[in-house]
Amino acid sequence: MTWGELLLSGQEKLKAAGIREYSLDAWYLFEHVFGMGRADYFLRSQETATAEEEALKEFQTGLSRRAEREPLQHILGTQEFMGLEFYVNHNVLIPRQDTETLVETVLSAHKNQEISLLDMCTGSGCIAISLAALGKYTHVEAADISDAALLVAEKNAEKILGLGAVKLRRSDLFSAFDPKERFDVIVSNPPYIPSAVIEGLEPEVRDFEPRLALDGTEDGLFFYRKLAEESGKFLKENGAVYFEIGYDQGEAVKNLLSDHGFKDTKVIKDLAGKDRVVCGRWNPA
């Protein structure tokens, strides 16, 4: 069997399993296992595949896992976000391009590096770590209720930034925070999918990503209500909040912020033109 035939067999296996991006996913598995880039492959595709038995087995195992609808990112163990490579597993939400809108919005609005920033519901840490890496902010913290998620965030922070660059805290929202603590910016990508909607999601999401990071309870707004109610207590005057939202939640979350004393609230769209971020400024006076 040639390298080309080996890759083709993987593509056919994923196509038969109904994987939409079967060709691309098979390639990523092939590249990951055999360490062969595109240029090298095109030169060697007609050569006999000389891979070790262990590597061939790893490739087939990866294909089988993907055919069972396990996310490719879990199999590879990585996902790119904001130009950085993050480790991911089944304990965290896989970073998505949509969330880059949140990070880019904060980076654009806050050029002063001497600010304190908190990422609530951090998961993999992709938001906090990207902000720390790209914004060079002096004080970045990240919190999550999941110990398993915090272990992933810790691994990512150490790999990308170095030990201690982001302070990680276990907390059920603000429950573990001192009432005297204040931040310039609070960001969050909380669980926001209505409970009933989760069952209709793609198997990759429904069956493999943590329900804790997805479920926004009955109407998807539970965590926004909590964040709108509590965030102001932990913000400096004229501090700001930035929340990722579902495409149809913009006005509802904007109104929640306004009702709890936030000013200059607005909805920001992503590159696809969908509502993606709601922000507001804390000035209750």
Domain boundaries, the chain: 3-68, 78-282
Q: Greatest CA span in the chain, whole angstroms? A: 74
Q: What gap in Å lies between CA 31 and CA 38, rounded to an integer?
A: 8
Q: 280 pairs with which residues across the strands?
A: 241
**pLDDT tens digits, residue range 51-108?**
999 999 999 999 999 999 999 999 999 999 999 999 999 999 999 999 999 999 999 9
Q: Which residues have C-beta within 8 Å of that of residue 263, sequence separation ≥ 6?
A: 280, 281, 282, 283
Q: What gap in Å lies between CA 213 and CA 227, rounded to an integer?
A: 15
Would you state the structure tokens that stand for residue 154, as one six-digit string? 């810790």
> pLDDT confidence of 197, banded at 50, 70, 90?
very high
CATH architecture, domain 78-282: 3-Layer(aba) Sandwich (3.40)
Let me know: does 276 contact 268? Beta carbons within 8 Å.
yes
The reported pLDDT for the residue numbered 283 is 86
- Counting residues of the chain whose pLDDT is more than 90, the rounded percentage is 98
Q: Does residue 285 surpass a pLDDT of 90?
A: no
Burial of 165 (0-12, 13-18, 19+ CB in 10 A): middle
Q: What is the mean pLDDT of residues 124-128?
A: 98
The reported pLDDT for the residue numbered 163 is 86
Q: Does residue 284 surpass a pLDDT of 90?
A: no
- Strands 78-81, 84-87: pairing is antiparallel
Q: What is the mean pLDDT of residues 162-175?
A: 95
- Mean pLDDT, the chain, as a whole number? 96
- Strands 235-244, 167-170: pairing is unpaired
Q: Does residue 10 surpass a pLDDT of 80?
A: yes
- How many C-beta neighbours within 10 Å does residue 164 have? 9
**pTM to 2 decimals?**
0.94
The reported pLDDT for the residue numbered 36 is 95
